[in-house]
Structure 1
Amino acid sequence: MTYDRSEAELARTLTGAADAAPPPVGDLLAAVHRRRGRRTRRRVQSALAVAGVIAVIGGGTAVARGFFSSGGGEGQTLSAATATATAAASAGPTDAAEPRRVTIRPAAEVWPAAVTRIPAKAADGRRYRPVTGLSATELLLIAESSFEKAGRLEVYDTVARRSTVLADTPAPEGVKGYFVQDVEAGSEYIAWWGETPNNSDEWADFWVVPRAGGTAKQVGQVTGDLSEVERIGVTADSVVWSVAGGGIHRMPLTGGSPEKIAGTDGLHLMSWPWAVDVAKGREGEDEQKNQTKVVNLETGQTAEVNVPDGVQGLRCGPVWCFGKEKDQENNASVVQRVDGSDRKSPSDLSSWGGEHSLARGFGLFQVSGVVGRDARGEEIEDGQAPLAAVYDPVTGVTAGIGRRDPSGGGGYGTGTSSSPTSILYWDEGQRQVEECRKVDATSVPHPPGEPVPTGKVTSCATTVKGGGKELTVVNLLAVPSTE
């Protein structure tokens, strides 16, 4: 679903980790590529299994989105190479001096009114996948009828502690392998689009339901290039969407032929009515490219982005931009306004990959947790540091997201709305458990052209265990306004 992470990002990070580790027994990247390669098209993604999940590998030496599983998110992580790197990173004496701590406080301490717990499943056992906030006390959820398959939309009231059904999310008649993709909340309607991601059809459709609930209605279908949907929006009378090649289109809610919005060549929808001149992050795109403008499609007004020297990957909303400094090994983050003012580089926040923009102008960054090196030069990690952090660029306040496992792993999810979401969540009860065993070396992947290893090696697999009862949710719509 949203928040796909490219192989290129993953490869860069794991390569960096490998530089600091002894030669691995097997080729982890090869294993990852083989597993990722089975999914030739973008699959719908699920909460904490794939959508927005962060798995920290090897004591802070690498961070990867989406557990490396074969079925789209759940299961084991093949990790002979990971085990070798982990053992090396954890071995050896430490400096006598106490290392510093990451000073980012948990979101529950920073914004207590914005953090709540909700059931991980509906009363009938369907698993919840958070989408976004509808208000400070209402959360839009998908209840999955089966793995990765949306069955209905619900609204959870965090004050009353109960959910109500908004609408079912049916598949169109005669369409096999249909999956709902991104959901978008407008002021009057909830909209979503779907496709058949596991076949070669160039086809997609759009649906809407009144925000108050009711029966879902299929607005229309598109084929060819128009089916390469990036993001969607919904107005009082139309569904709008941008396509991978650039350009923004609309279709009346009453049905009819799609039309291209004039003047949108090369533009990509961010959140209606805002459009930008960089594509939503997809595999193979130039992540280092800087955005140069923000366009209001309702007024036609264009704001030029002031891109300072030494910045790359700059991505902007209507007010704030997030990027990183060039040639910085720690991926130091950069925050500024669209006009270049109020530029800052928050400490302990990393701009490693992914999309940083959240609802209401907040930024999302990774937290490496590395706070020093031991006597052997190996990294020392703060085991209490959060996995990620939400940053308020107006006040400079930072709130920690997710819980780091003692093993160095952990996970959190981001809401699966088409626009930048207002929801982040994680399962406090989940843990990553590493199990190792001796196997024949010939069964472990090895670099092409290298001699086949012999003897026994240690092969480790990390499995997610526990959890499944509650989700801790941060709703940014409940954070007091600061601007």
Structure 2
Amino acid sequence: MTRKLEDDLHRVIGSASECAPHAPIDFSARIAARSRRRRTRGQALVAAVAVVIVAGGTGLAARGTSDDSAPIAVRPARTPSSPSTLPDPVEKVWPSAVRKIPAKLPGGRKFQPRTFIDDHTLLLETWESFEKADAVYAYDLDTGQTRKITEISTPKGVYASGYAIGGGRIVWQTIENMRTRFWYVPISGGEPAAIDTGRAVKGRVDELSVAGDKLAFSLFEGGVFTVPLEGGTVTPVAGADRHHILRWPWVGSPGQYTPDNEPSFEELLNVETGQTSKAVIHPGEQNVRCGVLTCVGRRPDQPSFYRLRDGSQERDLPDSTLGLAFDRLMTVSLDQPRGAQALLDLASGKSADLGLRQDAKGQGISIHPGLTYEPLMAYELKDQYVIINLTKIR
């Protein structure tokens, strides 16, 4: 790590410690786990995981979540102190949050972790071809046991995506000819069934969330809707015709995909309470991405920043930071070893080595935490998957 980056990190986690309010004791416990979607082939959508190309490698990162009532506290903590020193491994810094599991099912099939069914159970997806799911499984992190939940069959060119958990069900979507259909299966297993919406939803769904006895979804083209999990009428959410789901019941505009570099989720609406929030954005700021509580971006004179949505508690960030999960978790690219990244928690000041490295060909993966509220971060390392439950990071 360079001296400049070391100084940047010290400034990030130390500069606001005296004036920043402390997060509540139960901050992490009150974080809600929400749905996640992945990239749908052919739909020009980026996944609920962020895909980052690094010297020919591809990395997958899951989305996080945040508390929506309390500001984030930044406190001093130990950081890497020399170019030859890395933070401790992530499993040592946050042992209750990290598991490592085999990268193949019994019998040798590859899989992709998709989301948590509960605190100790993962939803896994297997493919018949690239990104085309053919089955989903439950994996018990405590026992290592795997159980097939159901097989998935879709027509040529149609892909299952966007898994959400709730009401004893696993829900997902398929998109065909610019129309979306929803499917479910009991967590206990069974045959997939369609959620009857009368007819396929016109448009491409970009986010799903189970909200009580309803499925909430937003369209890539804009607009938030609900439909009963048992099937029924699709109902638009009042005042959210331009919005996208950030973390239910928070919806916002613009969404994550801003081709003209608009600030992402600058405006927020709580569809249950009617509460609104508009983030403070200064002229000339670029790549601004906002969560429920905080925003990150780049100033006109280049230094990156992190601040609360109301513009307060602004501080500098190293240019090598990526993402913003839980309104507090970011990754930091390190100079040495090549391809190394640390996970940085701005709330506690802790950082941890993710174990990523470039190979002899200069290939590697990069983790980029995003804005939507999913507790799973998963990436393959050698012959294992590293599974991080972001809700358990303290």
TM tier, smaller: 0.7 to 0.9
Separation in 1, partners of 2:125, 2:265: 32
What do residues 104-139 of structure 1 show as CA deviations (whole Å, max 9, x unaligned)? 443223212222211212224432111123444332
Contact persistence 2:132–2:160 (CA under 8 A): yes
Question: In structure 1, which of residues 141, 145, 148 is the aligned counterpart of residue 124 of structure 2?
Answer: 141
SS class of match (1:109)? helix
Amino acid in structure 1 at the alignment position of 2:173: W
Tell me the secondary structure at the aligned position of residue 195 of structure 2.
Answer: strand
Conserved? CA contact 1:56–1:64, under 8 Å: yes
Partner of 1:184: 164
State whether structure 2 residue 290 is matched by structure 1 residue 316.
Answer: yes
CA distance in 2, matches of 1:42, 1:290: 17
Structure 2 residue 147 is the aligned partner of structure 1 residue 167? no
Match of 1:238 in 2: 214
**CA drift at 1:271:** 2.4
Q: CA deviation at 1:248?
A: 0.6
Structure 1 residues 362 and 159 mapped into 2: Cα distance closer, same or farther (>3 Å)? farther
1:183 alignment partner AA = Y
Q: Which residue of 1 is the match for residue 7 of structure 2?
A: none
Q: Structure 1's 413 and 166: CA in aligned 2 closer, same or farther, altered over 3 A?
A: farther
| Residue of structure 1 in register with 2:336 after alignment | 382
Structure 1: distance between partners of 2:142 and 2:301: 47
What does residue range 275-424 of structure 1 map to in structure 2 within 5 Å?
275-281=251-257, 285-289=259-263, 291-308=265-282, 311-328=285-302, 332-347=303-318, 349-351=320-322, 356-358=323-325, 360-365=326-331, 367=333, 369=334, 381-383=335-337, 386-387=340-341, 389-407=342-360, 408-411=362-365, 419-424=372-377
> What is the alpha-carbon distance in structure 1 between the residues aligned to residue 319 and residue 85 of structure 2?
7
Provide the TM-score with structure 2 as the length reference: 0.72
SS of the residue corresponding to residue 92 of structure 2 reads: helix
Q: What is the alpha-carbon distance in structure 2 between the residues aligned to residue 357 and residue 4 of structure 1?
A: 19
Deviation at 1:404, TM superposition (A): 1.5
Give CA-to-partner distance per residue, 1:338-386, whole Å, 9 cap, x none: 22333223446334xxxx243x43433451x3xxxxxxxxxxx422562
> Letter of the aligned partner of 2:225 in structure 1?
H
Q: Report the Cα offset of residue 179 of structure 1.
A: 0.7
2:386 corresponds in structure 1 to: 472
The structure with the largest helix share of the pair is: 1
- Greater relative CO (CA pairs within 8 A, separation 6+): 2
- Unmatched 5+ stretches in structure 2: 1-35, 61-81
Secondary structure class of the residue paired with 1:251: strand
Match of 1:112 in 2: 95
SS of match in other structure, 1:345: strand
- Change in CA separation of 1:297 and 1:248 when aligned onto 2, cut-off 3 Å: same
3-state DSSP of counterpart to 1:127: coil
Correspondence for 2:379: 426
1:74 alignment counterpart: none
Change (3 A) 1:206 1:414: farther
Q: Conserved in 1, the CA contact under 8 Å of 2:169 and 2:184?
A: yes
Structure 1 counterpart of 2:109:
126
Contact in 2 for aligned 1:414/1:421 (Cα 8 Å): no
Distance 1:333 1:112, change over 3 A: farther
Cα 1:349–1:105 change in 2 (3 A) is: farther
1:314-347, CA deviations, whole angstroms, 9 ceiling, x for partnerless residues? 322222333233342xxx4422222233322344
Work out whether 1:262 is the aligned partner of 2:238. Answer: yes
8 Å contact kept, 1:291–1:315: yes
Once the two structures are aligned, what percentage of the paired residues are identical? 26
One-letter code aligned to 2:353: G
For residues 426 and 325 of structure 1, do their structure 2 counterparts lie closer, same or farther at Cα, with a shift above 3 Å needed?
Answer: same
For the residue of structure 2 that corresponds to 1:108, the secondary structure is: helix
Query: Does the Cα contact within 8 Å between 1:322 and 1:363 map onto a contact in 2?
Result: no
Name the CA distance, whole Å, in 1 between partners of 2:125 and 2:263: 33
What is the distance in 1 between the residues matched to 2:312 and 2:278?
Answer: 13
Q: CA–CA distance in 1 between the matches of 2:243 and 2:283?
A: 24
Render the CA deviation track for 1:228-262: whole Å, top value 9, x for unaligned: 21111122222221112221112222223322111
Deviations 1:434-457 (A, max 9, x none): xxxxxxxxxxxxxxxxxxxxxxxx
Q: Deviations over 1:375-415 (max 9, x none)?
A: xxxxxx4225624x433232232333351124432125679
| CA RMSD, 1 decimal | 3.6
- Specify the alignment match of 2:18 in structure 1: none
Structure-2 change in CA distance of 1:317 and 1:52 (3 Å) = closer
> Unaligned regions of 5+ residues in structure 1, if any?
6-38, 58-62, 68-98, 370-380, 430-468
**How many residue pairs were aligned?**
337
Q: Distance in 1 between the 2:139 and 2:43 partners?
A: 32
CA contact (8 A) 1:184 1:192 kept: yes
CA distance in 1, matches of 2:264, 2:371: 21
* Distance in 2, Cα, partners of 1:403 & 1:210: 36
Amino acid paired to 1:405 = Q
Change (3 A) 1:403 1:167: same
Shift in alpha-carbon separation, 1:207–1:2, aligned structure 2, 3 A: closer
Larger radius of gyration: 1
Maintained 8 Å contact 1:150/1:169: yes
- What is the alpha-carbon distance in structure 1 between the residues aligned to residue 280 and residue 46 of structure 2? 35
